[in-house]
C-alpha cells in the first residue's frame, strides 16, 4: 500500500485523524500555490488535496469558486497541477486531487505518471479510464 491509503492506515494505527490540507493550484498564482502546498507539508499535514481550477461557480461554494476564478484568470493550467503534484510528493506527502472526470479525460493520462515522476498512482489513471 502506498500514498493516501498508507497514510490513512498509519494514522488509523496511531488512533488519530489524518490532517488533510487543501489548496487550489494557481491561487494566488501558480508558484505561490505550490510554495504554500510545500509549506503545509513542512508544517505537518499528512495529505495535500490539490484543487484543479475549473469554471463551475456553484460546485464548491463562493470561496473556492473565487480562488479558481482568480487562478484561471492568472493562467493556471492542468499542466500546473502536475508540477504541484511533483513538488508535494518531493516534500514528502501523498496527493489527493479532486479533478473532474471530464477534465481528466481531456488530458493524456498515459503521460501523467511521467510528468509527475510517478507521484500519482497508476491505479488512479486506470480508474478514470481513457477514451483514446
Per-residue pLDDT of the chain (132 residues; tens, 9 = 90+): 668 999 999 999 999 999 999 999 999 999 999 999 999 999 999 999 999 888 775 677 888 889 999 999 999 998 899 999 999 999 999 998 765 444 544 554 445 545 555 555 444 444 434 333
| Residue 10 counted as domain residue | no
Say what the pLDDT of residue 110 is: 46
Answer whether residue 7 is part of any domain. Answer: no
Task: Evaluate whether 18 touches 11 at the Cβ level (below 8 Å).
Answer: yes
The pLDDT, as a whole number, for residue 73 is 93
Of these residues, 29, 60, 69, 80, which one is catalytic?
60
pTM: 0.74
Dmax over CA atoms of the chain, in Å, equals 44
- Residue 130, CB-side half-sphere exposure with 13 Å CA sphere: 12
**Is 123 a residue of the active site?**
no
Assigned domain for 6 exists: no
Contact in structure between 21 and 39 (CB atoms under 8 Å): no
What is the distance between the alpha carbons of residues 92 and 7, in angstroms, rounded to a whole number? 11
From the candidates 15, 49, 69, 110, which is the catalytic residue? 49
Quote the number of domains for the chain. Answer: 1
49 is catalytic: yes
Residue 51 near residue 98, CB atoms below 8 Å: yes
Domain encompassing residue 27: 19-128
Amino acid at each position: 500500500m502506498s500514498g493516501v491509503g498508507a497514510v490513512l492506515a498509519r494514522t488509523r494505527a496511531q488512533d488519530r485523524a489524518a490532517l488533510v490540507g487543501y489548496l487550489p493550484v494557481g491561487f494566488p498564482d501558480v508558484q505561490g500555490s505550490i510554495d504554500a502546498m510545500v509549506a503545509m507539508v513542512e508544517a505537518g499535514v499528512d495529505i495535500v488535496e490539490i484543487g484543479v481550477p475549473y469554471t463551475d461557480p456553484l460546485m464548491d461554494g463562493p470561496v473556492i469558486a473565487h480562488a479558481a476564478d482568480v487562478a484561471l484568470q492568472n493562467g493556471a493550467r492542468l499542466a500546473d497541477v502536475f508540477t504541484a503534484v511533483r513538488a508535494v510528493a518531493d516534500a514528502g506527502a501523498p496527493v489527493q486531487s479532486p479533478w473532474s472526470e471530464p477534465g481528466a479525460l481531456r488530458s493524456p493520462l498515459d503521460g501523467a505518471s511521467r510528468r509527475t515522476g510517478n507521484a500519482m498512482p497508476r491505479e488512479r489513471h486506470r480508474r478514470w479510464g481513457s477514451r483514446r
